[in-house]
Structure 1
């Protein structure tokens, strides 16, 4: 059983502590929030999407998982980690069709970066997380965290589910599907102090809640300048999975990637089916 597994027990303890802190820090401004902590699940995003598709998502729900066996990222790519090596969690909420969605993954990146920068005992000289369009957090071009934004519903009411995975420790012997090496918070902790899982998950969810309140009012505009300062790709030569190449010029007002080709023409990349990577210098 999962609860007979010491790493699961340790992570459950940290997540329960984090959940209590999340509730204390958010319930006054977001009184309908509920927080579930589970020992074992396939995917927190899938579980909350199932609730939403069944028409049962009536309030904001957060799900924190100690062990996730079928985690996934953008384009259906799997997110596989050992228990204790990563934080996996999702937040889901009703989303009126009149509210914007463009740029939500980038605003989520800003929120998660804010939270990670507040991690206690990090070596701030070395730990400088940046956002890789459209949904990853990188440190020194290595993947620290991933984001998956999913939407269901139509007509007047939609539901949004945002999933996040954060590496506490770098997976050993693992490359992402793009060949990008992963990293973990432990690589940037000062004096050998281990990452505080409860503090990290609490900071991440609280920042997400604050971001969603602002995004509902003003959309991506509120986060555009901060994203620009954290943009891991701006000014770099890129190649896209569809064969396109060019130089990243940042993003437009709706979060689309602006790419300048060799001819000088600028195109805006908005497709979530395209992967983007920096060109490797010879």
Structure 2
């Protein structure tokens, strides 16, 4: 009897998973159809999906709930309020150099709690495991904060690899990643990128991207590294209402006439892989000068959050610590301990 109950429970579990997977595939297909921003009649959607008009209505309501707002025009049909440029694995791989394609195993997901967590739970089958997602429901930021994003309108990117440097040999890695991202965005035509120590990219005076690095393993020998990146591409102002600091997007302040998420994502992956290869060979020193040239706080009055320390921003040292010129002399700040803000 116990064995029979166990088998029934297992069958119910697999049926439930299969049902959820089918619903998810139908939802994703609906998003793909509507992504062009054009009007589609309810009957056409039902025919394409092979479901009833009532089922289409239910799925459209689900899109609203997940942050993909749908316009309903009586007698005409349905369309997204804004077209979506969905990620395309095949297109991304075409945009990468053959040498880099051989180094990575690319995952392109729909909705995932965290791209960092997704990769952390997976074994390495290539030198670099790379994950992109249309949306993160529990994206992570620095110091336990949540990274806000919207479906199909930002880039949530994580890269996992093994480093022979050990945890102690990775000083400055997040700063090197920042340099790589800034360089990639500049090459893509984005104007005015700067780096705000330790882990943010700015456009003007507003945050456009953040970096989170998670480490596990030995202090002196091999360790696993997961680099997480969140970039606001075209998130609307009302979608980021809960963000507690000034922020912007490439669409708002990037100076690009057109934005392709696939093109931007491919450039970020290429720049990041190249930088990680260089960092593993040579460490942070080769990135220091470029980071200083992009320092958003240099020469500005800066205060340390939660402390009374303040001074003028003076760049970074060879290990990535931030230097402040204070009335009592130079103070060096370590990224894991403090946050800084520009005054005014």
> 1: distance between equivalents of 2:293 and 2:171?
19
Say whether residues 1:47 and 2:113 are aligned partners. no
> 2: distance between equivalents of 1:73 and 1:19?
27
Provide runs of 4+ in structure 1 moved above 3 Å: 7-16, 173-177
Say whether residues 1:105 and 2:179 are aligned partners. no
- 5 Å-filtered alignment, 1:165-184, equals 165-173=230-238, 174=240, 179-184=244-249
Deviation at 1:91, TM superposition (A): 0.6
Higher helix content, 1 or 2: 2
TM score, norm. by length of structure 2 = 0.71
Unaligned runs of 5+ residues in structure 1 are: none
> 1: distance between equivalents of 2:200 and 2:254?
20
> 2: distance between equivalents of 1:130 and 1:23?
27
Range with greater deviation from structure 2 (101-110 or 10-19):
10-19
Q: Which residue of 2 aligns with 1:157?
A: 222
Q: Which residue of 1 aligns with 2:250?
A: 185
Structure 2 residue aligned with 1:248, among 293, 306, 313?
Answer: 313
Structure 1 residue aligned with 2:98, among 8, 19, 24?
Answer: 24
Q: Which residue of 2 aligns with 1:61?
A: 129
CA contact (8 A) 1:36 1:63 kept: yes
SS at match of 1:67: strand
**Structure 1 residues 161, 113: CA separation in 2 closer, same or farther (over 3 Å shift)?**
same
Say whether residues 1:140 and 2:204 are aligned partners. yes
Say whether residues 1:118 and 2:183 are aligned partners. no
> 2: distance between equivalents of 1:131 and 1:237?
16
Taking CA–CA contacts closer than 8 Å with sequence separation of 6 or more, which of the two structures ends up with the larger relative contact order? 1
The CA RMSD over aligned residues, in Å, is: 2.2
> 1: distance between equivalents of 2:283 and 2:207?
26
**Structure 1 residues 142, 189: CA separation in 2 closer, same or farther (over 3 Å shift)?**
closer
Q: Which residue of 1 aligns with 2:300?
A: 236
Deviation at 1:13, TM superposition (A): 4.2
If you compute each CA radius of gyration, which structure gives the higher value, 1 or 2?
2
TM score, norm. by length of structure 1 = 0.86
